[in-house]
Amino acid sequence: TCSLLRSPKGFPKLKNDTFLRAARGEETEHTPVWCMRQAGRYLPEFRETRASQDFFATCRSPKLCCELTLQPLRRFPLDAAIIFSDILVVPQALGMEVVMVPGKGPTFTEPLKEVEDLLKLRQKVDVTAELGYVFQAITLTRHSLEGKVPLIGFSGAPWTLMSYMIEGGGSTTMAKAKSWLYRHPEASHQLLRLLADVIIDYLVGQVAAGAQALQLFESHAGHLGPELFQDFALPYIRDIAQAVKSKLKEEALPLVPMIIFAKDAHYALRDLAHAGYEVVGLDWTIRPQEARAQIGKHVTLQGNLDPCALYAPKEKIGELVKKMLESFGTQRYIANLGHGLYPDMNPEHVGAFVEAVHAHSRHINKH
């Protein structure tokens, strides 16, 4: 249970470190597995817990975040937990208002329209004051996990957050946000720099609070081509890894493994392999062998089963997992989906995926 009465330090001893070992490139008996959006609407207990609450009010409740983070672990033998939160808490920390509109998703009441709108943003963010509720959720959850598995913290990456802040919500083209990159390159860099600085402090704060690994989500990488990615995404992705690591050292905090997940960014895999992350996450649109050839042997790969494969019969899921493990190899590899779970997925099929990863990877390792 998620009771708030425990001391912030003195965390329970970790019992299953398979995920962390794979992230660091150490040998593992089985391939670890977790799922993006594993705490989500596909679970009836999640819908029940969330029913009465506004989405962002839930994000601001450490007890509810803890409960939602633990729910999938009560059902499935996952090798990691990821804190329940949202990437848009960072724009909120900068002073923007975001509401969750049923049937539409996250919506900014006043998106950035003109360059002058940047002046409305907080130029200096005290992450403890603005995002302390996430840190409390992480500390509480780390205790409540009782060392069962490691806890992953995360943030959206600068370009992905910028695109939401300008579009005001989801978009199929990202035309408004991309037009800034072409029309206002300097202002775009100013905004991306501001976001990167907040993200760096936010990720370091998550480790101080108890996160044992960090994932950076560049979910909208696919809207950029190689040039725009090179100019407006990659420099900040690199900088975040470097700055987080040097701040962790300065503050004598654990150097936790970091994962970069840039969706639809095949064109950038070689660059991402050298961006300072221990793990590169892959979406489902690339062949494992190709990804390994581009990324090399010194970085762990994470991914990349098509989430829609979970609609298949359970036997078929097992076959697809076996093929995926044979393609990636069972070492220096963390099994996952190529994106998050969808709300209408059958939890039993999620269980079949997790169990297939464990069973087939153990079998491959033995033989």
pLDDT (tens digit, 9 = 90+) per residue, 312-333?
999 999 999 999 999 999 999 9
How many H helices and E strands in the chain? Answer: 15, 9
- For residue 19, tell me if it sits in a domain: no
User: If you average pLDDT over residues 224-237, what whole number do you get?
Assistant: 98
- Beta strands (DSSP E) in the chain are 81-82, 98-101, 105-108, 151-156, 213-218, 258-262, 279-281, 300-305, 333-337
pLDDT (tens digit, 9 = 90+) per residue, 352-363?
999 999 999 999
Does position 19 have pLDDT exceeding 90, yes or no?
A: yes
Backbone angles phi, psi at 301, to 5 degrees: -100, 150
Between 331 and 103, the more confident residue is: 331
What's the pLDDT score for residue 2?
80
Beta bridge mates, 249: none
pLDDT (tens digit, 9 = 90+) per residue, 201-222?
999 999 999 999 999 999 999 9
Active site residues: 37, 41, 50, 86, 164
- For residue 7, tell me if it sits in a domain: no
Structural domain containing residue 247: 31-366
Task: Provide the domain count of the chain.
Answer: 1
- For residue 118, tell me if it sits in a domain: yes
Q: Which pair of tokens denotes residue 334?
A: 């963390």
User: If you average pLDDT over residues 219-239, what whole number do you get?
Assistant: 98
What's the pLDDT score for residue 148?
98
Backbone angles phi, psi at 283, to 5 degrees: -85, 180
Does position 8 have pLDDT exceeding 60, yes or no?
A: no
- For residue 360, tell me if it sits in a domain: yes
- For residue 222, tell me if it sits in a domain: yes
Between 8 and 208, the more confident residue is: 208
Beta bridge mates, 153: 214
Residue 5's pLDDT band (cuts 50, 70, 90): low
CA distances from 332 to 35, 92, 182, 266, 320 (A): 17, 36, 39, 19, 19
CA end-to-end distance (rounded Å), the chain? 40
With a pLDDT cut of 70, the percent of the chain lying above it is 98
What's the pLDDT score for residue 3?
74
DSSP secondary structure of 29-70: SS--B--TT-SSTTSHHHHHHHTTS-HHHHHT-HHHHHHHHH
Question: Are 127 and 205 in contact, with CB atoms under 8 Å apart?
Answer: yes
Q: How many CA atoms lie within 13 A of 367 on its CB side?
A: 6
* Averaged pLDDT score across all residues of the chain: 97
Choose among 279, 331, 282: nearest CA to 306.
282
Does position 6 have pLDDT exceeding 90, yes or no?
A: no
3 state SS of 14: coil
Q: Which pair of tokens denotes residue 30?
A: 């089985």
pLDDT (tens digit, 9 = 90+) per residue, 153-188?
999 999 999 999 999 999 999 999 999 999 999 999
Q: Dihedral of CA 313/319/320/321: which sign?
A: positive
Give me the CATH number covering residue 255. 3.20.20.210
User: If you average pLDDT over residues 118-128, what whole number do you get?
Assistant: 98
Residues 6+ apart with CB under 8 A from 181: 188, 228, 231, 232
Determine the Cα–Cα distance for residues 175 and 155; give it in Å rounded to an integer: 23
User: If you average pLDDT over residues 293-297, what whole number do you get?
Assistant: 96
Does position 7 have pLDDT exceeding 70, yes or no?
A: no
- For residue 164, tell me if it sits in a domain: yes
- What is the C-alpha radius of gyration for the chain, rounded to an integer number of angstroms? 20
Q: Which pair of tokens denotes residue 91?
A: 């724009």
Choose among 105, 63, 68, 98: nearest CA to 83.
68
- For residue 321, tell me if it sits in a domain: yes
Residues 6+ apart with CB under 8 A from 69: 39, 81, 82, 83, 84, 137, 141, 151
